[in-house]
Amino acid sequence: MGRERIECGRRGEDLTVAYLRESGWEILERNWRCREGEIDIVARDGDTLVVCEVKTRTSERFGTPLAAVTAIKAARLRRLAVAWLVAREARVPAVRVDVVGILLDDPDQPPVRIEHVRGAA
């Protein structure tokens, strides 16, 4: 993965964390990894634990950022949510998987668009 792509993804995650915090969410963890894969952001929205996938793009030439989350990726995110709960021995009343799509024209400028889909997977 090229440096520019990594930096673009990191910028999208940083923007998402800021957006979620402004919405009153508590960020519990970032870039949690296990054998199954990686969770970009684990957060708390009230009593709900949210596994949040962030997709950042600099153009829509290959589709929107949200379109990058396929049914296979959604299933993986659900498995990752369970793995995180088991690893942390966490008990929560509800779990949700959200996807945030970030569209940037210029990685150093504010985002063109932030789309947040709750319960996407």
Report the CATH number at residue 103. Answer: 3.40.1350.10
What pLDDT sits at residue 58? 86
Least confident of 18-22, 37-41, 110-114: 110-114
**Given pLDDT bands bounded at 50, 70 and 90, which one contains residue 111?**
low
Q: How far apart are CA 82 and CA 31, in angstroms?
A: 15
Q: What is the pLDDT of residues 88-99, one digit of tens each?
A: 999 999 999 999
Q: What is the pLDDT of residues 25-80, one digit of tens each?
A: 999 999 999 999 999 999 999 999 999 999 998 888 888 899 989 999 999 999 99
Domain count across the chain: 1
What pLDDT sits at residue 95? 96
What pLDDT sits at residue 31? 97
Q: Within 10 Å of residue 94's Cβ, how many Cβ atoms?
A: 10
What pLDDT sits at residue 12? 92
Is residue 84 predicted with pLDDT exceeding 90?
Answer: yes
pTM listed for this prediction: 0.91
Strand (E) or helix (H) holding 20: helix 3-22
Nearest to 112 by CA among 58, 48, 76: 58
Q: Which domain holds residue 33?
A: 3-117
Chain centre to alpha carbon of residue 13 = 7
Q: Are 58 and 47 in contact (CB under 8 A)?
A: no
Q: How far apart are CA 109 and CA 99, in angstroms?
A: 22
